[in-house]
Amino acid sequence: MLAFGAFGCRSTKYVPDDAYLLNKIEIENQAKDITKEELRYYVRQRENVKILGFWRFHLGLYNLSGKDNTKGFNKWLRRIGEEPELYDELLRQKSSEQLRLYLNNKGYYNAEVEDTVLFLKNKKAKIRYSIKSGERYKINQIAYRIDDDSIKGHIYNDTINSLLKPGAPFDADLHDDERKRITKVMRNEGYYGFRKEFVYFLADSALGNYSVNDSLIIIKDRIQIVGRADSIINHNKYRIKDVYFLVGYEPQRALKEGDTYLSKFDSLQYEGCKILYGDNLDFRADVLMNSNYIFPGQLYNQDLVNKTQLLLAELQLFRFVNIRFKEMEGESDEEGNGLLQCFIQLSSSKLQNYTVEVEGTNSSGNLGAAGSFNYKHKNLLRGGEVFDMRFRVAGENQQAKNKESFRTLEAGGDATLTIPKFMVPFKIENFRKRYNPQTNFSLSYNYQRRPDYTRTIANGRIGYTWKSSPLVTHYLSPVDFSVINVPYIDPDFEDNIDSTFLKYSYEDHLISSTSYTFIYNEQSIAGNKNYHYFQANIQSAGNLLDGISSLVGNNRGNEFNEVFGIRYAQYIKADIDWRYHINVNPINSFAYRIFMGVGYPYGNLTVLPFEKRYFSGGANSLRAWPVRGLGPGSFEETQLDYYNQTADIKLEANAEYRFKLFWLLEGAFFVDIGNIWTIRSSGDDEVDEKGLFHFDSFYKQIAVGVGTGARLDFSYFVFRLDVGVKARDPILPEGKRWVLGVRPISWDDTAFNFAIGYPF
């Protein structure tokens, strides 16, 4: 009712008689290499935001409010809504000027911007900005003028990396980036006091033919002397004389107590650095050195300072890290370089904590409740090692095919020790400082009870993590050993799979695997900008155990090999997950996802273990189907009451349009497509006929679901309800698989998914 009123309410209700609602802004642009989105940023006014491309929902909410803005409900509507954007003549003129200046900065010095205002009926206005860009100026040649002879070598030796090239557009932003680049080069060469203000450009555009001769000029340094005129001097290099680690540093106390604060600290010297600490030093000194690039005797280097800041900040020992330098006036080394003192201020973090939590759970859209106890120690062995221990019990209500609900129970615990370096039997020089590696040792035990089976999983794992860049993370697990025990299987379920290879997935088995994961993630630094996320995984299992078993020869003559009396799995599995998020504006965004995965079993176990198989459907997959309720292929499970359909191959693509409504409420429309398939014969003729993957026909078995959703965004988590509708159902006969728009939608064509968090 509220949404209908917001849609139908007159949009100019609160537009004064002498004003106009800014209804639309158009940009006609001739500059082919500058997008309208770039230009729109410099338009000083914005129309009221729209959702679905046409609906001014938030303006409608505002207009629903009454005239008396002292009433609580009216105030609330105005707060969650959006005030009408009124046409402003001054902002129109400023926008034209800003557009012209931006085009000038991009090399379009003859650009003209014409604006036209069209006053429409019902007190609405439309603005059109017409841009005649003209020809773009380009760089003809680049000359250098460096007033300080002592730095010429650094500049000339690095010209190959210059951002300014003959033939490139004459772009002010590119020039500013070149100033920053040169500043970085100089600061990495020891010039601590070098700033980008020392670099400027002179341009000569008198050549004609839209060409510019560019001159890059670097001036000398300037110092101020009290009572005298400024002195012009050469740029000076600086060398690190002393490095002080101030452990347990408290800024407020230091500010209050002044020079006497540090006199209370104890000290020790390690690898040429001085470590000052308060009451006691809770960790070994080498923890700091392993994360440090700054040492006495080095020339100042900004990159090394940044790396030290990053490595120390990623240790969980400190609340914050601050690195500052102090020039030692009147002092220099034998080469005449200035001297610096480096102070690395480290505010200590609390080393131990525990939490007890009661929470809602979401397992592929099925909601339940859980309780957990978590304990963390951030310095277990006095080397910055992080120990995590967790115990958890969870129960969920799920729905069977006959719409009856059933309960699942899961309980277990895990313990992980994370060491901030590579624990390997060979030496890797400087790997810690270059890639910030971690070694993880973990043990876990998990008990799962469902109506169709009961299963326990005991796991031990050794893993390595490192970052090759701020965006790229690597995970390598050379040893991952699991023992899976299945003490109970529902008799009906067991009878159904007994004649197929699937039965081996529900028998006791071992998994000894090696895996590698590559992650590229722009999200953490993108903020509100568009970002990509890409993850690739590959895992191989059973080969080491198979080699040992063959050497020992205890299983000769048997149908399959065993270790400790338990059959082990052999397979190779790989998948990729790509996501792309587009933030159109603070109200509207688009999210896309593609997932492709395949697992190939071989050797000792000719079917993928159940916990390694793919499934489709549910809150984070094809939302028009229940979890594990789709596939493989066009196969329909009719024998069992519980959804439990899995396979070896999964292809899936999702697209979602998201929009903010009011308060915490968001809306979404989505399309999901995909399915799962088996990769080899299972022994069940019906599954093999309809579920095997074939390159020439798999596309005929693609499922399509559409739907809408509502979300409550509480910042720390998102509570989500999605309603999916089957648009194309692969279990129907060929030629009749399209549902949406062909026949009436039934209740069985609809699925409701309650979940926590976004689907992707």
What are the tens digits of pLDDT across the range 152-191?
A: 999 999 999 999 999 999 999 999 999 999 999 999 999 9
Structural contact between residues 731 and 645, judged by C-beta atoms closer than 8 angstroms: no
219 and 147 within one domain: yes
138/401 Cα distance (integer angstroms) = 68
Q: Which residue has 């000894």 as its token pair?
A: 512
DSSP structure class, residue 747? G
Q: What pLDDT does residue 147 have?
A: 94
Q: What pLDDT does residue 205 have?
A: 84
pLDDT, average across residues 258-272: 88
Q: Is residue 567 part of a domain?
A: no
Tell me whether residue 630 is exposed, middle or buried, using C-beta atoms within 10 angstroms of its C-beta: 0 to 12, 13 to 18, 19 or more. Answer: buried
Instruction: List the beta bridge partners of residue 245.
Output: 275, 344
The sheet with strand 199-204 has its strands ordered as 138-146, 211-218, 199-204
More confident residue, 308 or 225: 308
**Signed CA dihedral, 658, 661, 665, 667: sign only:** negative
371 and 320 within one domain: no
62/6 Cα distance (integer angstroms) = 8
Tokens of 512: 């000894």
Tokens of 514: 């090696």
127 and 85 within one domain: yes
Comparing CA positions, the residue from 746, 502, 750, 510 lying closest to residue 644 is: 502
715/57 Cα distance (integer angstroms) = 22
Q: How many distinct structural domains can be found in the chain?
A: 5
Q: What pLDDT does residue 689 have?
A: 83
| Number of CB atoms found within 10 A of residue 522's CB | 16
258 Cβ neighbours under 8 A, 6+ residues apart: none
Q: Is residue 451 part of a domain?
A: no
Kindly indicate the confidence band of residue 3, based on its pLDDT and cuts at 50, 70 and 90. Answer: very low
pLDDT, average across residues 65-94: 91
Q: What pLDDT does residue 5 have?
A: 45
Whether residue 225 is predicted with pLDDT greater than 70 in this model: the reply is no
409/498 Cα distance (integer angstroms) = 25
CA 659, chain centre distance (Å):
20
pLDDT, average across residues 724-741: 93
245 and 223 within one domain: no
Kindly indicate the confidence band of residue 401, based on its pLDDT and cuts at 50, 70 and 90. Answer: low
Q: Is residue 687 part of a domain?
A: yes
Lowest mean pLDDT among 215-224, 365-374, 540-549, 726-735: 365-374
Tokens of 730: 């692969």
Q: Which domain holds residue 149?
A: 138-233
Containing H/E element for 202? strand 199-204
Beta strands (DSSP E) in 92-137 are: 112-120, 124-132
Q: What pLDDT does residue 644 have?
A: 80
329 and 368 within one domain: no
Q: Which residue has 């209370």 as its token pair?
A: 264
pLDDT, average across residues 361-389: 83
Q: What pLDDT does residue 620 have?
A: 92
Lowest mean pLDDT among 36-45, 105-114, 555-564, 704-713: 555-564
**Signed CA dihedral, 550, 478, 573, 512: sign only:** positive
Q: Is residue 344 part of a domain?
A: yes
Q: What is the mean pLDDT of the chain?
A: 89
384 and 277 within one domain: no
Structural contact between residues 650 and 575, judged by C-beta atoms closer than 8 angstroms: yes
Q: Position 662: which residue type?
A: F
User: How far apart, in Å, are the Cα atoms of 349 and each of 253, 320, 323, 355, 379?
Assistant: 16, 8, 17, 17, 10
Structural contact between residues 673 and 623, judged by C-beta atoms closer than 8 angstroms: no
220 and 249 within one domain: no
336/488 Cα distance (integer angstroms) = 80
Percentage of the chain surpassing pLDDT 90?
Answer: 62
Kindly indicate the confidence band of residue 263, based on its pLDDT and cuts at 50, 70 and 90. Answer: confident
Give the dihedral of Cα atoms 442, 443, 447, 453; nearest 10 deg.
80
pLDDT, average across residues 650-663: 96
Q: What pLDDT does residue 308 have?
A: 94
262 and 343 within one domain: yes
**Last residue of a domain, which of 233, 250, 272?**
233
- pLDDT tens sequence across 328-348: 988 999 999 999 999 999 999
Helix axes 172-188, 89-105, angle to 10 degrees: 60
251 and 227 within one domain: no
| Number of CB atoms found within 10 A of residue 504's CB | 20
User: How far apart, in Å, are the Cα atoms of 573 and each of 509, 601, 602, 612?
Assistant: 17, 8, 11, 9
248 and 225 within one domain: no
**Last residue of a domain, which of 416, 437, 458?**
437
Whether residue 365 is predicted with pLDDT greater than 60 in this model: the reply is no
Whether residue 7 is predicted with pLDDT greater than 70 in this model: the reply is no
**Signed CA dihedral, 547, 550, 553, 559: sign only:** positive
Whether residue 526 is predicted with pLDDT greater than 60 in this model: the reply is no
698 and 755 within one domain: yes
Q: Is residue 443 part of a domain?
A: no
Q: CATH no. for residue 293?
A: 3.10.20.310
Q: Is residue 502 part of a domain?
A: no
Q: What pLDDT does residue 726 have?
A: 96
Comparing CA positions, the residue from 638, 629, 650 lying closest to residue 753 is: 629
**Last residue of a domain, which of 132, 165, 185?**
132
Q: Is residue 12 part of a domain?
A: yes
Task: Return the half-sphere exposure (C-beta side, CA atoms, 13 A cut-off) of residue 558.
Answer: 14
Whether residue 612 is predicted with pLDDT greater than 50 in this model: the reply is yes
Q: Is 759 left (phi over 0), alpha (psi -120 to 50) or beta?
A: alpha
463/475 Cα distance (integer angstroms) = 7
DSSP structure class, residue 219? P
Lowest mean pLDDT among 248-257, 263-272, 493-502: 493-502
Beta strands (DSSP E) in 559-685 are: 562-563, 566-567, 571-583, 588-601, 649-662, 665-677
- pLDDT tens sequence across 68-78: 888 889 989 99
For residue 632, say if its preceding peptide bond is cis, omega within 30 degrees of 0.
yes
Containing H/E element for 376? strand 366-377
Kindly indicate the confidence band of residue 403, based on its pLDDT and cuts at 50, 70 and 90. Answer: low
Structural contact between residues 465 and 442, judged by C-beta atoms closer than 8 angstroms: no
Query: Radius of gyration of the chain from Cα atoms?
Result: 33
247 and 197 within one domain: no
Q: What is the DSSP string of 125-169?
A: EEEEEEEE--PPPEEEEEEEEES-GGGHHHHHTTGGG-S--TTSB
Q: Is residue 724 part of a domain?
A: yes
End-to-end CA distance of the chain: 31
User: How far apart, in Å, are the Cα atoms of 182 and each of 154, 157, 158, 163, 189?
Assistant: 9, 12, 9, 10, 11
Q: What pLDDT does residue 1 have?
A: 41
